[in-house]
Chain A
Amino acid sequence: MTTAPAVPTPVIEQPPTDGPRTRQRRVPPARRVGRVLVVVALLLATAAFVYPFVWLLSASFKPRGDVFDNRLWPRTWTFQNYLDVWQTAPMATWLVNTVIVTVLAATTVTATSAMVAWGFAHFRFRGRNVLFGLVLATMMLPGAVTMVPTYLIWKQLGFVGTLVPLWGQNLFASAFYVFLLRQFFLALPRELFEAARLDGAGPWRVFTRIAVPLCRPALVLTLLFEVQAAWTDLMRPLIYLQDSSTFTVPRGLKALLDQFGFGGEWHWEIVVTASVITTLPMILLFFFGQKHFIQGIATTGSKG
């Protein structure tokens, strides 16, 4: 759970760099009670935050009638639900579709947003401030305003019913990531790029050989954010996909819920198991990328 390396390192007392903690190190015993209460409160909160996952996972291993049995350790374990989901729904196709959309969405938006962010961070040109103001303004625009015309554009282009509208717009960068990456590019020392230019490197070379490698953590962050956004999106698949063979996993889960949760025959175990299949890839992603996620959110938030 911690990000510390597994290599055994000698225990060195941290120098007193961060204020709040060192202040609490030397707490008088009377205040220890307060600290115990803090930990107890945090543990209770953690239980509340983790409970729904555990409940969902455990329910997916319960036989049909037991889904609502709220004990976390199933009375009888079964793997049947996973087999049933696989047989009732084209789960493999949905997963492949989602992976295609997610990979294309994340790679294209990261590449183009990095280019645009670099354009705004590195160069001085007329109209730069006005255009960057527009970038910021589009971040404020509610998606509902452009929803209908955007649908009509994709319809005109003949892409409704395909996966293209789910990622195609990412070819044109995204205001939020442009803003985020520009912050990182601005933090790099300008002398580096001047030196490269004196050595005869053109603008593209300066960007790809120097700026991009130095900005790798921020690019990983963008990639992770967009993977999460693309994987979990429901609204676009609802708008653009009709045929079940083109569904993504979230869209498929919604279809299963309509059929087995609210339809004539109740099969909550199918819905629950499909929910686990939809969620699990994101949980795995989080455990690989948690450092980037958490740092990224902390920095974007305080700079916003």
Chain B
Amino acid sequence: MTTSTAAPVRTQDVGRRTRRRSSLERRYSRAAWWFISPWLVGFLVFTAWPMIYSAYLSFTDYDVINDPQLVGWANYQELFSDPKVALALQNTLVYAALAVPAHILLALGLALLLDQASRRASGFFRTAFFLPKMTPPVAIGVLLILLFNGQRGAVNTVLGWFGITGPAWTTDPAWVKPGLVLMGLWTVGSTVIILLAALRGVPTDLYDAARVDGAGFWRRTRAVTLPMISGPLFFVVVVNTIAALQMFTEAYTAYFGSGNTTYSNDAALFYVIYLFQQAFEFLHMGYASALAWLLFLVIMAITGIQVLVSRRLVYYEGEAR
């Protein structure tokens, strides 16, 4: 096998092989479409089509039995004159404004504490904090009514030990939302875990440097820890805000129900609950669709503002984009 004779054969061979390879490559890549086809079909049927259809329905009156009747902008006009929409929107925004900071602050506090504990201890506590996240929201709704019961609930019993007369959490309109917020704090577990993972990722030498410069615990937390975990922190703020704006199950379980709704409490009338009632209790599908689009806009606007604010506050390591 001498190089002089082998060389031309090889080049020819390589040329043919790359051509065949590339057509093989293309055929192989065609399989990608089979792999993503479940999502593609699902996207068209359960996302794209519903969005188009919901936009159309929002301009109609539709009670499921009779055909949709086009009504122009009437549903949207009604949105702005319906006092219940204003109330539901206000309730939802107030709830989110209370729940999100409380949730993040508690989660951050617990994560900082866990970061100080030994690894074995933090494993135990992490498990304990995460456990409530496994509780079905409907059971959390039940717990809310029982533990926050004005007269006999455990929460007011504990407050009583300190000489505090607790409010009627579940019946006094002023205390319904704080009660829901406090019960909601029970499920901070997953946020704690995300933040703890972020804290563990902060390089130690930064703390050492800060300590050499004489920074105490608070100073280190403010100047090193918070900037270094600002990415995950921003993530949990956005996710929790979106979730809070769509609050449904716990409040619906505790304050609304089918049939004789004698116990409905408008202090807990959140936006998605009102939407659900309009759609599936009153069968106002068109109006409910318009409600859905208003919620969509509100969520987009709030998330957009958060993203804009985060540009100034969030620090991404190695960011050169």
Contacts and interface: CB of A to CB of B under 8 A. Distances in A.
A146 B127 CA distance: 35
A203 B249 CA distance: 43
B147 interface: yes
A268 B150 CA distance: 16
Contacts of A234: 136-138, 249, 252-253
A41 interface: yes
Interface in B248-291: 248-249, 252-253, 257-260, 262-263, 272, 275-276, 279-280, 285, 288-289, 291
A214 interface: no
B235 interface: yes
Which of B135, B235, B249 is most buried by chain A, counting CB atoms within 10 A of its CB? Answer: B135
Contact of A20 (B42, B115, B124, B293): B115
A55 interface: yes
A204 B200 CA distance: 39
Interface stretch (A5-13, A75-83, A215-223, A282-290): A282-290
A112 B121 CA distance: 38
A86 interface: no
B264 to A, nearest CB: 10
Contacts of A74: none
A228 interface: yes
B49 to A, nearest CB: 7
A204 B31 contact: yes
A145 interface: yes
Contact of A304 (B136, B139, B235, B292): B235
B232 to A, nearest CB: 5
A257 B279 contact: no
Contact of A46 (B128, B248, B293): B128
Contacts of A67: 146
A173 B46 contact: no
Given A112-B39, A123-B35, A142 B296 contact: yes
A50 B262 contact: no
B193 A294 contact: yes
Most chain A CB atoms below 10 A, which of B40, B47, B119, B129: B47
Interface in A276-304: 278-279, 282-283, 285-286, 290, 293-294, 297-302, 304
A298 B114 contact: no
Given A112-B38, A150-B46, A21 B119 contact: yes
B57 A23 contact: no
Given A45-B125, A116-B36, A155-B64, A283 B134 contact: yes
A258 interface: yes
Interface residues of A, number: 108
A122 B186 CA distance: 40
B182 to A, nearest CB: 11
A144 B295 contact: yes
B89 interface: no
Interface in B11-37: 28-36
Given A112-B39, A262-B257, A282-B135, A148 B194 contact: no
B39 A42 contact: no
Contact of B129 (A46, A52, A155, A283): A46
A109 to B, nearest CB: 10
Contacts of B138: 232, 234, 250, 253-254, 278
Interface string B189-211: 11001111111111111011000
B301 interface: no
Interface string A30-53: 000011001101100110011111
A258 B258 contact: yes
A184 interface: no
B113 interface: yes
A23 B207 contact: yes
B69 to A, nearest CB: 15
A88 interface: no
B32 A144 contact: no
A91 to B, nearest CB: 15
B194 A257 contact: no
A55 B246 CA distance: 29
Contact of A1 (B115, B127, B153): B127
Nearest to A277: B139
B121 A39 contact: yes
A212 interface: no
Counting from the closest, the 5 A-B pairs by CB-CB distance are A172-B42, A19-B204, A301-B194, A119-B35, A123-B32
Interface of B: 28-36, 38-43, 45-47, 49-51, 53-54, 57, 64, 110, 113-121, 123-132, 134-139, 141-143, 145-147, 149, 152-154, 157, 186, 189-190, 193-205, 207-208, 231-232, 235-236, 239, 242, 245-246, 248-249, 252-253, 257-260, 262-263, 272, 275-276, 279-280, 285, 288-289, 291-293, 295-296, 299, 303
22 contacts: A1-B123, A38-B116, A46-B125, A116-B39, A128-B32, A142-B245, A145-B292, A147-B292, A148-B292, A149-B57, A150-B50, A152-B285, A153-B45, A153-B46, A153-B49, A173-B39, A238-B252, A249-B136, A279-B139, A300-B194, A301-B190, A304-B235
Given A119-B36, A258-B259, A282-B135, 20 more contacts: A19-B205, A21-B119, A24-B118, A45-B129, A68-B146, A122-B32, A145-B296, A147-B292, A148-B292, A149-B289, A151-B280, A172-B42, A173-B42, A203-B28, A228-B134, A234-B136, A239-B276, A254-B253, A279-B134, A299-B197
